[in-house]
Structure 1
Amino acid sequence: MTGKTRAIGKTWAIGKTWAYEDFTEGASLDLGTKLVSAAEIIEFATEFDAQPMHLDEAAGKASILGGLAASGWHTCAMFMRMLCDAFLLDSTCQGAPGVDQVRWKKPVLAGDMLRGSTTVLAKRLSKSKPQLGFVTMRSELFNQRGESVFDLENTVMFLTRGAAA
């Protein structure tokens, strides 16, 4: 994805830094695509999740996953990179208080092309810090066959435009 985007109503447009006001309930954002390579699956697994199905093609094929498969935690990390590149790094984001739900629905295999999207479910201003808003999102990754392989729901904190100025 090239360029910076921000929410306007239920559509997305090229523009300036994202702030709390730019998020609209029901609006969706395309997170772009990501090709998953065998090398990166093995590199991540070697460092963080050294189970055989994440390190070796034959072991992956012998498992219920059906091939060299990304760790679920690697899938989370790839999602986070896609989210950062799509808009988060160009925002007033102050972090997140946690993740409400994460599901790994299908294996992410070497050679898969992931496509991501995020939908705004709700938003509210903080009662104790009115310059801070909470935006609840549902994010999903799909493989090249359009199958949902991952979904996540969480709330992210963003400064209001006035507080960010």
Structure 2
Amino acid sequence: MTRYFEDLEPGDVFETSGYTVKKNEIIEFAEQFDPQPFHVDEAAAEDSIFGGLIASGIHTMALASKLTVEETFDMIANLGGRGMDDLQFHQPVRPGDTLHVELEVLETTPSERHSERGYVTYEQRVLDDSDAVVLSLRMETIVRRRPEGQTE
């Protein structure tokens, strides 16, 4: 069942399944997009403040986006994003960590200019296998309102 703007309320929480981060993915992503030594070189990572190889925060954010889109936005009448704020990296993600996402509705605001849509603000939390938050951010999306005449 598709959830429209009217179906979303502050306090609603959506949770994804887990995704296990692999060492080769960390290195391949970082070589292309964030080639810092502690993301691409195990020996250098051992000598870093992290004491070992860690995923790029941007990689972690991309994994969170994938899980959110595939497992949450596919059941919400999501039309696109408006922006993100307050991105925080709480702790490093390491090879073998299994991540999942919690997406909590914080606020819903009807559009004043477009009666067919509204804006939904979420807090997105990425958690590891021990349910520790590794990344968090706030995002605002555009969500379709229920079509006229449609009750459910």
Normalized against structure 1, the TM-score is what? 0.84
1:86 to 42, 46, 71: 71
| 1:68 match | 53
Distance 1:32 1:144 in 2: 11
Q: What is the identity, as a one-letter code, of the residue corresponding to 2:86?
A: Q
Q: What is the identity, as a one-letter code, of the residue corresponding to 2:139?
A: N
The number of equivalent residue pairs is 149
Residues 18, 87 of structure 1: 8 Å contact kept: no
Q: What is the identity, as a one-letter code, of the residue corresponding to 2:92?
A: P
Question: What displacement does 1:139 show?
Answer: 1.1
1:44 to 29, 35, 42: 29
| 1:154 match | 139
Q: How does 1:124-139 map to 2 (within 5 A)?
A: 124-139=109-124
Query: Which stretches in structure 1 are left out of the alignment for 5+ residues?
Result: 1-15
The answer to whether structure 1 residue 59 and structure 2 residue 44 are counterparts is yes
Q: What is the identity, as a one-letter code, of the residue corresponding to 2:43?
A: A
Distance 1:87 1:98 in 2: 17
Larger RCO, structures 1/2 (Cα 8 Å, 6+ apart) = 2
Question: What displacement does 1:146 show?
Answer: 2.2
| 1:7 match | none
Distance 1:119 1:92 in 2: 16
2:16 to 24, 31, 38: 31
Residues 99, 152 of structure 1: 8 Å contact kept: yes
Distance 2:46 2:75 in 1: 40
Question: What displacement does 1:91 show?
Answer: 3.3
| 1:105 match | 90
Residues 122, 135 of structure 1: 8 Å contact kept: yes
Residues 64, 100 of structure 2: 8 Å contact kept: no
Distance 2:17 2:139 in 1: 19
Question: What displacement does 1:107 show?
Answer: 0.4
The answer to whether structure 1 residue 141 and structure 2 residue 109 are counterparts is no
Q: What is the identity, as a one-letter code, of the residue corresponding to 2:38?
A: M
Point out the more displaced range, 69-78 or 142-151: 142-151
Normalized against structure 2, the TM-score is what? 0.91
When the two chains are superposed, the root-mean-square deviation of aligned CA atoms in Å is 1.5
| Segments of 4+ moved more than 4 angstroms | none
Q: What is the identity, as a one-letter code, of the residue corresponding to 1:102?
A: L
Q: What is the identity, as a one-letter code, of the residue corresponding to 1:35?
A: T
- What per-residue deviation string (whole Å, max 9, x for no partner) do you get for residues 122-144 of structure 1? 10110011111101100111112
